[in-house]
Amino acid sequence: MEVTRGGAASDADLVRTIADAAPVCDSQAEAELYRRLAPRVRLYGLRHLRDIQAAADLTQQVLLMTIEKLRAGALREPEKLASFVLGTCRLVVLDLRRGALRREALLRRYGAAAESEAPAPPDTLERQKLARCLEGLAERERSVLIASFFADKSAAEVGRTLGFSAENARVIRHRALLRLRDCMGVAKEAP
């Protein structure tokens, strides 16, 4: 299958292509689907596991299982790929949490690939720019962001310990993130 950059083939098109090619492997379609899904699954993993390596492990597991199922034609409605991937993510997270999948074994098996999937740290210039943008925030805004993201605290928890309501903490956090996004020049890339 010819896969053009810019999304000419939808995710569902790729699912059909992979299923139709079986038992032959359409490596180009699989690679394109992997390229699209890997960052999304990694975000799911970061959100639920709060660990870059664990998120990379999850990504590898979920995508291997997904592509295996697609080759077998197990996804009868290709438009429901996202729902299928979400279900697989949940299963793998449960397994990871139960310890059924041993981290050491995953690292041995997927270590190199997982490492390559880890998000690249921002370069020095971006870090310096981010630090400058953070310094430009109001004191409450900076404190709320640090408490939210360094300590992974909800608005209710942040508010309780810093002396204001959960709603106030949520408003301060939202305003701070918008200002930070603007300062970093990423505002137009997000909805």
Partner 1 sequence: MTESCAAPIPFAALVEYWCGELDAAAEARIEEHFLGCASCSAALQSLAALSSGVRAAFREGALHAAISAPFLEEMKRQGLRLREYRVAPGESVHCTIAASDDAVISRLQAPLVGIGRLDLVSMNERGELRYRLEDIPFDPEAGEVIFCPATAALKQHPVRIYRFRLLAVGADGERTLGDYTFIHTPS
- Binding footprint of partner 1 on the chain (CB under 8 A): 6-7, 11, 36-37, 39-41, 43-44, 46-47, 81-83, 85-86, 89, 119, 121-122, 126-127, 130-131, 134-135, 138-140, 142-157, 161-164, 170, 173-174, 177-178, 180-181, 184, 186, 189-191
Which distant-in-sequence residues (6+ apart) come within 8 Å of 123 by Cβ?
A: none
Comparing CB distances to partner 1, the nearer of 95 and 126 is: 126
* DSSP code per residue over 41-58: HHHHHHHHH--HHHHHHH
CB of 138 to partner 1, least distance (A): 7
Comparing CB distances to partner 1, the nearer of 2 and 152 is: 152
Nearest Cα to Cα of residue 81 among 129, 26, 117, 32: 32
- Residue type present at position 185: G
Residue 128 DSSP one-character state = H
Comparing CB distances to partner 1, the nearer of 114 and 144 is: 144
